[in-house]
């Protein structure tokens, strides 16, 4: 797909709404001349690669758009005017709180929309990052039929095509791989998705974020699959790690190099819980492997409550300061760690 096709697709999708009028100059359009190899050492945002030091304070796990809970759909049917009227003020607000980048963890089939993300990045100036991959949790509801028939290598080829040509061929390229596993031992399909993610990593250098939650055995099984594929644990993020009771299991993974993501920040009890986790990781000297986010949702499906993106900046960071964490440590948690975790680099 050429850049002109992207413009055409975007223009066609935009209709007449003023939010949506495409900037014809497209100053930040995807840089189609950037081959994957040239993206090495960069962070791939929806508007193109940026040097990691430009990213700033980042939220590594949020849902800017989501249809989670609705029937699977490859192309979500969003009311564009409503999306922009709702989401732009929320993004502007979290920006004013100090956020400079957001990784959107909404995967294929439950609401991922690269062209809307591209326009939101243009409208707000935020660095937005989208993903490739399939989501294997929620009892595999959002895993497409072809994933059962194809091999891990064939799935990796599909995801690598998104890396090269953009998500759904739009030219808007993914900045990481998102997948997910269910509870219990890894199922055949979940294992295949993790293996496909590992194979995608070895060709692209994209980081692999896996919804694993409190499933410690599944985390270990995933690291074993990565090892079989020659992928270093530092290419892998343990998503929803705040649901793990055994902090030593998290520290063990962190010591191997894995990223430990506490992404359930929300007003209320979660503040204290996340503070305890951060303190526990500091005691074990692995704070340089910790990521913090909200798993927020700025445009959830109808009937679902939005979840805020600003608790980290407005409540949790002041709490960390009060608890004695230095400015350098806070910078490490909000800027340096996400930057290191999401820099495109083959880690084998």
User: In this structure, are strands 296-297 and 101-104 parallel, antiparallel, or unpaired?
Assistant: unpaired
Non-local CB neighbours of 296 within 8 Å, separated by 6+ positions: 59, 62, 63, 306, 307, 308, 309
| Token pair belonging to 90 | 């929320």
Q: What is the smallest separation between the CB atom of 263 and Zn ion, expressed in angstroms?
A: 7
Site string for Zn ion, 50-89 (x = CB under 5 A): ----------------------------------------
Q: Toward Zn ion, which CB reaches closer, 303 or 324?
A: 303
Q: What is the smallest separation between the CB atom of 155 and Zn ion, expressed in angstroms?
A: 21
Q: What is the smallest separation between the CB atom of 55 and Zn ion, expressed in angstroms?
A: 20
Sign of CA dihedral 338, 339, 342, 347: negative
The span of 101-109, 121-129, 228-236, 275-283 binding Zn ion (CB under 5 A) equals: 101-109
Q: What is the smallest separation between the CB atom of 341 and Zn ion, expressed in angstroms?
A: 16
The span of 102-110, 134-142, 166-174, 251-259 binding Zn ion (CB under 5 A) equals: 102-110
Q: Toward Zn ion, which CB reaches closer, 63 or 345?
A: 63
> Of 108, 253, 262, 261, which is closest to residue 178 (Cα–Cα)?
108
DSSP string, 189-224: HHHHHHHHHHHHHHHH--EEEEE-TT-HHHHHHHHH
Q: What is the smallest separation between the CB atom of 111 and Zn ion, expressed in angstroms?
A: 11
Q: What is the smallest separation between the CB atom of 180 and Zn ion, expressed in angstroms?
A: 9
Size, binding site for Zn ion by CB under 5 A: 2
Q: With beta carbons less than 8 A apart as the criterion, state whether 271 and 316 touch.
A: yes
Q: Toward Zn ion, which CB reaches closer, 107 or 120?
A: 107
Site string for Zn ion, 272-301 (x = CB under 5 A): -----------------------x------
Burial class (CB in 10 A: 0-12, 13-18, 19+), 115: buried
Q: Toward Zn ion, which CB reaches closer, 122 or 295?
A: 295
Q: Toward Zn ion, which CB reaches closer, 105 or 226?
A: 105
| Token pair belonging to 230 | 């020659």
| Token pair belonging to 111 | 């609401």
Q: Toward Zn ion, which CB reaches closer, 61 or 119?
A: 61
Using the rule CB under 5 A, is 229 a contact of Zn ion? Answer: no
d(C-alpha 22, C-alpha 13), whole Å: 10
Q: With beta carbons less than 8 A apart as the criterion, state whether 156 and 203 touch.
A: yes
Of the residues 105, 129, 226, 253, which one makes contact with Zn ion according to CB under 5 A: 105
Q: Toward Zn ion, which CB reaches closer, 42 or 213?
A: 213
Q: What is the smallest separation between the CB atom of 152 and Zn ion, expressed in angstroms?
A: 23
The span of 77-85, 99-107, 125-133, 226-234 binding Zn ion (CB under 5 A) equals: 99-107
Which residues sit opposite 237 in a β-bridge? 209, 259
Residue in the shown chain whose Cβ atom is closest to Zn ion: 295
Q: Toward Zn ion, which CB reaches closer, 140 or 295?
A: 295
Q: What is the smallest separation between the CB atom of 261 and Zn ion, expressed in angstroms?
A: 10
Q: What is the smallest separation between the CB atom of 322 and Zn ion, expressed in angstroms?
A: 28
DSSP string, 77-146: ---HHHHHHHHHHHHHHHHHTT--EEEE---TTBT--HHHHHHHHHHH--EEE-EES-B--GGGTTS-TH
Q: Toward Zn ion, which CB reaches closer, 113 or 295?
A: 295
Query: What letter would DSSP give residue 177?
Result: E
Q: Which residues bind Zn ion (CB under 5 A)?
A: 105, 295
């Amino acid at each position: 797909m050429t850049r002109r096709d992207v413009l055409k697709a975007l223009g066609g999708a935009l209709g007449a709404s003023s939010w949506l009028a495409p900037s014809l100059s497209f100053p930040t359009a995807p840089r189609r001349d950037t081959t994957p190899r040239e993206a090495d050492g960069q962070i791939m945002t929806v508007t193109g690669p940026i040097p990691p030091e430009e990213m700033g304070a980042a939220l590594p796990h949020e849902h800017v758009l989501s249809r989670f809970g609705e029937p699977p759909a490859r192309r979500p049917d969003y009311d564009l005017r409503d999306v922009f009227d709702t989401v732009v003020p929320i993004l502007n607000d979290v920006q004013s709180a100090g956020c400079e980048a957001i990784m959107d963890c909404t995967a294929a089939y439950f609401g991922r929309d690269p062209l809307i993300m591209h326009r939101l990045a243009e409208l707000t100036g935020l660095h937005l990052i989208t993903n490739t991959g399939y989501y294997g949790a929620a009892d595999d509801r959002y895993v497409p039929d072809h994933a059962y028939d194809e091999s891990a290598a064939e799935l990796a080829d599909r995801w690598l095509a998104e890396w090269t040509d953009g998500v759904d061929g739009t030219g808007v390229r993914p900045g990481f791989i998102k997948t997910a596993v269910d509870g219990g031992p890894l199922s055949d399909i979940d294992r295949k998705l993790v293996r496909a993610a590992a194979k995608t990593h070895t060709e692209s250098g994209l980081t692999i974020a896996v919804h694993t939650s409190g499933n410690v055995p599944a985390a270990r099984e995933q690291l074993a699959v990565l090892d079989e594929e020659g992928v270093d644990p530092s290419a892998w993020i343990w998503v929803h790690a705040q649901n793990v009771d055994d902090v030593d299991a998290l520290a063990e993974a962190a010591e191997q190099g894995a990223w430990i993501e506490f992404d359930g920040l929300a007003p209320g009890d979660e503040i204290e819980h996340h503070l305890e986790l951060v303190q526990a990781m500091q005691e074990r000297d692995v704070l340089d492997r910790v990521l913090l986010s909200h798993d927020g949702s700025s445009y959830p499906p109808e009937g679902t409550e939005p979840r805020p993106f600003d608790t980290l900046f407005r409540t949790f960071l002041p709490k960390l300061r009060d608890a004695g964490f230095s400015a350098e440590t806070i910078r490490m948690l909000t800027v340096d760690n996400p930057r290191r975790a999401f820099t495109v680099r083959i880690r084998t």
